[in-house]
Amino acid sequence: MNEALLVYVAAAVALAGLILYVVLGGADFGGGVLDLFARGPRKHEQRDAIANAMGPVWEANHVWLIFVLVVLFTCFPRGYRALSVALFLPFHLALVGIMLRGAAFVFRGYSRAGGRHASLWSVVFGIASVISPFLLGAAFAALTGGNIRVGLEGDLQVHLGKDEPWLTRYAMGCGMLAVSACTYLAAVYLTGETDGELREIFRRRAIFAGTTTAILAAEVLFLAHQQAKWFADQLLNRNSAPVIITGLAFFAASAWAVFTRRYRLSRLFAATEIALLLIGWGLAHQPYLIYPDLTLFDAAGPPQTIRFLLWSLPVGAAMLIPSLVLLFRVFKSQPAAP
Amino acid sequence: MDALTAARAQMTLSLAFHMVFAAVGIGLPLLIVIVEGLYLRTNESHYLALAKKWAKATGLLFAVGAVSGTALSFELGLLWPRYMEITGAVVGHVFALEGYAFFIEAIFIGLYLYGWEKLSPRVHWWCGVVIALSGAASGILVLAVNAWMQLPVGFEFDGMGQLVVTDPVAIFKRYGWFVMSLHSTLACYVAVAFAVAGVYATAWLRGRRDDYTRSAIRVALAVGAVTALLQPISGDLLAKFVFQTQPAKFAAMEGQFRTQTYAPLRVGGWPDEEAAETKWAIEIPGGLSFLAAHDVSAEVPGLDRVERADRPNVELTHGAFQLMVGLGMLLMIVSIWFWVRHWRLRREPATSLDSPWLLRALVLCGPMGFIALEAGWIVTEVGRQPWVINGVMRTEEAVTSAQGVEQVFYGFAVLYLLLAGTVIFLLRRLAGSGADAGDVVAPQEMSAHGEVRA
């Protein structure tokens, strides 16, 4: 494999990990958001359904984030270094959110029935489930916004542009979009894991979150046009545009499936939508890892290490795929009792 | 506080915290597999009750370990970006292998904790076996990276100062990896086994004298005794390896300031860096030379061979080393005491648990395995200083240039205190609830607002 191809394959692997993290782990954050906003006489049943859906799988889903980090620092060590310096604060804050989300979820489960501790951890779980995807979304946008400047002469230099890269309006918009999209995914998945009145509640949540996601996506495109014009233009290029448009079509199709109560289809379409939109993002963003100074090639590490990692993937997959299939078949094959 | 001090403090806190949970993730599944296996063979319900109780504890502790481990994978880059640039480039793929093992562990934890009713007993037990194996594997693979930081290998810098990887497999061929991971994996089993024995010895002293408590103590001490007896052997192999490869660390561990032949083994004592001698130690003549090189006359290089600026903190390294060895000996003696007494009383109606002194010793030993584990880690990492990657990069060169390191450290200190306090509170509640009906409730039957469904 020549080195350019190697770098692209490594980037594709990182992107695939990211897609799996959003499609699986993102829905767990969305579950926390739905938990936070659970209202009405069936509030407790909603929370139970969310906890039952997340319980067996959230830790496995969470590992996809670690997978992305490992691919990033193994294959793109300079990029990881630059991002670590530039996003020191938002990554730390997201980390607080990620830690509190996971810890609060189990702490609540182990606290006494309906006690003060349980309700306190419930709130922490909900709030942490909002701030984590928000900050990760904002940090993700910082790759694109042009405010992280990297000097490659001699030792790597990292400067911030005139704005904090994760505090621009574009980044904030991406953060909100991330929260909203996670919530939509969670609500769509939950319609597939519940029935009766509860399913109707999650269906309404899905419609609300889907509408919000559509509005926020339009806003992010508008803000990108203002604050990351190069990226907005790239989205319309020959490679990216067809994928993005197909992704949006799948978004519409998943909304249609939710409306018409085709719950299996809506789950499939919503997950495909996320995958396609992220692939479209990747096609538009390449060859940059951090626009405008650091390309994937500048960021890439020694080819021997990348090659080892890529060759280890089939071995890892041979162990992981059957395990994941078993996990999801045991816990996700039929609607859980509410 | 400057950025370097704050970053080191945060890293210390994060690792010291995570290590406890990582050790539990390695040690506790082994104990669970044993008691669940005993249940499958004997069909005695107290074994099942133990498996369920320990599985519940694992559910709590593994989750905290997973999030604190995530913190570390971020923090390695956030606090030490230059370190992670080199480490990622040269041995990042080892983290990928560790990632697969951890992934497997996380998947099977989900199956195990929530699968009591959904899986057949045999499949459920095998899920436990997979957790125990993958937990140990991920620890062993992380140790490969740590061994590499002690003795970096597999890369060079070319004439332009560019990093070139010469052998991505070299890291796996190191004897240092074998001895380090052997010693630290055994330490995890020792720590968890004695903690469990301590908890149930406390219960026994408080009057819970039944099969449930007795079996818990016996299973824990079976694992505890085997591993505590093996531990000095692995420690000896590791010490010899350190002597050959990291003489400065070895000298700091032993408080050896002067290079000398017939070097004495020092038990205890306090190194005085100004006077360049270790005071108040009990010295066994020639002992250190013999331990290091199997020859009482062998020369042991002292800290005088190392520039002042390249020495680790001798007081901390020596003190932590003495503490670790002392506690290891204590645990070994107590486990021998227990099993010798058990064997001598094998035909009597009395058991080894009728000795209040032995029980008190077990209670005392409860936290000691974990303290020894932390002390051993301090020896390894403080003894490596001032280098983060030995001989390649100093810790001070690796630290981030970002602003606000000190403030972030304070925030994380509060966060870790909160998590630690809550975990202790919940574990006490879990222990206090005993082996009653509560143990037969699997976590998935516990609803989000805490009610237990029939």
Q: Give the C-alpha separation, B292 to B284, whole Å.
A: 14
| Residue the block writes with tokens 């407790």 | A44
- What pLDDT shows up at residue A144? 92
pTM for the complete prediction? 0.93
- What pLDDT shows up at residue B348? 79
By the 8 A CB rule, do A135 and A166 touch? yes
Q: Which of B58, B72, B82, B85 to mutate to test the interface with A (most CBs of A within 10 A)?
A: B85
Tokens at B298, concatenated? 């062998």
Chain B positions touching A56 (Cβ under 8 A) are 110-111, 113-115, 444
How many other C-beta atoms lie within 10 A of the C-beta of residue A264? 10
Chain B positions touching A66 (Cβ under 8 A) are 69-70, 73, 99, 102
| Residue the block writes with tokens 């983290």 | B95
Q: Give the C-alpha separation, A77 to B95, whole Å.
A: 13
Tokens at B357, concatenated? 């002194």
Question: What are the residue ranges of helices labelled H in A111-195?
Answer: 116-142, 169-193
A302 contacts chain B (CB < 8 A): yes
Window 59-98 of A: residues touching B by CB (8 A cutoff) are 59-60, 62-63, 65-67, 69-71, 73-75, 77-78, 80-85, 88-89, 91-92, 95-96, 98
CB contact under 8 A, B60 and A106: yes
CB contact under 8 A, A110 and B426: yes
CA distance B308 to chain A (A): 28
Window 169-188 of B: residues touching A by CB (8 A cutoff) are 169
The verdict on residue B238 lying in a domain is no
Domain count, chain B: 1
By the 8 A CB rule, do B248 and B310 touch? yes
Chain B positions touching A29 (Cβ under 8 A) are none
CB contact under 8 A, B104 and A319: yes
- How large is the C-alpha radius of gyration of chain B? 23
- Mean pLDDT of the region B381-400: 94
Among the partner residues A100, A158, A312, nearest to B93 by beta-carbon distance: A312
- Closest by CA position to A81, among listed B85, B9, B179: B85
With H, G, I as helix, E, B as strand and everything else as coil, classify residue A142: helix
By the 8 A CB rule, do A139 and A86 touch? no
By the 8 A CB rule, do A248 and A275 touch? no
CA distance B450 to chain A (A): 4
Q: Which residue of A has its CA nearest to B446?
A: A109
Q: For residue B170, give every residue at least 6 positions away whose Cβ sits within 8 Å of its Cβ, in sequence order, or none.
A: B153, B154
Window 419-448 of B: residues touching A by CB (8 A cutoff) are 419, 422, 426, 429-430, 443-444, 446-448
Name the residue range of residue B74's domain. 1-173+403-454
> What secondary structure letter does DSSP report for A336?
P
pLDDT tens for residues A226-281? 999 999 999 998 899 999 999 999 999 999 999 999 999 999 999 999 999 999 99
The verdict on residue B268 lying in a domain is no
> What secondary structure letter does DSSP report for A295?
E
pLDDT tens for residues B246-259? 999 999 999 999 99
A169 contacts chain B (CB < 8 A): no
Q: Give the C-alpha separation, B266 to A261, whole Å.
A: 76
How far the first Cα of chain B sits from its last, in Å, is 55
B155 contacts chain A (CB < 8 A): yes
State the amino acid at position B330 in one-letter form: L
CB contact under 8 A, B90 and A305: yes
Q: Which residue of B has its CA nearest to A318?
A: B100
- What pLDDT shows up at residue B435? 56
By the 8 A CB rule, do B198 and B367 touch? yes
Average pLDDT, chain B: 91
- What pLDDT shows up at residue B353? 81
- How large is the C-alpha radius of gyration of chain A? 20
**E strands along B139-281, which residues?**
155-157, 163-165, 265-267, 270-272, 277-279
Chain B positions touching A118 (Cβ under 8 A) are 449-450
B71 contacts chain A (CB < 8 A): yes
Where is A294: in which H helix or E strand?
Answer: strand A294-295
- Burial classification of residue B216, based on how many CB atoms lie within 10 Å of its CB (0-12 exposed, 13-18 middle, 19 or more buried): buried
CB contact under 8 A, A106 and B71: no
The verdict on residue B72 lying in a domain is yes
Q: Give the C-alpha separation, B98 to A228, whole Å.
A: 37
State the amino acid at position B69 in one-letter form: G
The ipTM value here is 0.92
Q: Give the C-alpha separation, A142 to B71, whole Å.
A: 21
pLDDT tens for residues B163-189? 889 888 989 998 999 999 999 999 999
- Domain coordinates in residue numbering, chain A: 3-332
Q: Is the pLDDT of residue B453 over 70?
A: no
Q: Which residue of A has its CA nearest to B10?
A: A92
- Mean pLDDT of the region B316-335: 96
With H, G, I as helix, E, B as strand and everything else as coil, classify residue A101: helix
Q: Give the C-alpha separation, A91 to B72, whole Å.
A: 12
By the 8 A CB rule, do A28 and A276 touch? no
Where is A288: in which H helix or E strand?
Answer: strand A288-290
CB contact under 8 A, A80 and B88: yes
Q: Is B208 left (phi over 0), alpha (psi -120 to 50) or beta?
A: beta
What is each CA distance from A60 to A56, A181, A324, B252, in whole angstroms?
8, 20, 8, 42
B233 contacts chain A (CB < 8 A): no
By the 8 A CB rule, do B289 and B308 touch? no
CA–centroid distance for B124 within its chain: 27
CB contact under 8 A, B71 and A95: yes
CB contact under 8 A, A111 and B70: no
Q: Which residue of A has its CA nearest to B430?
A: A110
Chain A positions touching B95 (Cβ under 8 A) are 70, 73-74
Q: Is the pLDDT of residue B451 over 80?
A: no
By the 8 A CB rule, do B217 and B197 touch? yes
Residue ranges in chain A whose pLDDT is less than 50: 336-338
With H, G, I as helix, E, B as strand and everything else as coil, classify residue A313: helix
| Residue the block writes with tokens 């994380």 | B412
B26 contacts chain A (CB < 8 A): no
Measured over the CA atoms of residue B201, residue B203, residue B206 and residue B209, the dihedral's sign is negative
In terms of C-beta distances under 8 Å and separation of at least 24 residues, what long-range contacts does B44-53 make, across chains too?
B44/B211, B46/B210, B46/B211, B46/B212, B46/B215, B46/B435, B47/B215, B49/B212, B49/B435, B49/B439, B49/B440, B50/B212, B50/B215, B50/B216, B50/B219, B50/B435, B52/B116, B52/B439, B52/B440, B52/B442, B53/B430, B53/B435, B53/B439
Tokens at B327, concatenated? 């506690």
Window 114-133 of A: residues touching B by CB (8 A cutoff) are 114-115, 118, 122
- Percent of chain B residues past pLDDT 70, beyond the cut: 95
- What pLDDT shows up at residue A332? 82
- What pLDDT shows up at residue A314? 95
Q: For residue B425, give every residue at least 6 positions away whose Cβ sits within 8 Å of its Cβ, in sequence order, or none.
A: none
Tokens at B216, concatenated? 């818990």
Give exposure, A180-192, as e/b (b: 16+ Cβ within 10 Å): bbbbbbbbbbbbb
Chain B positions touching A158 (Cβ under 8 A) are 401
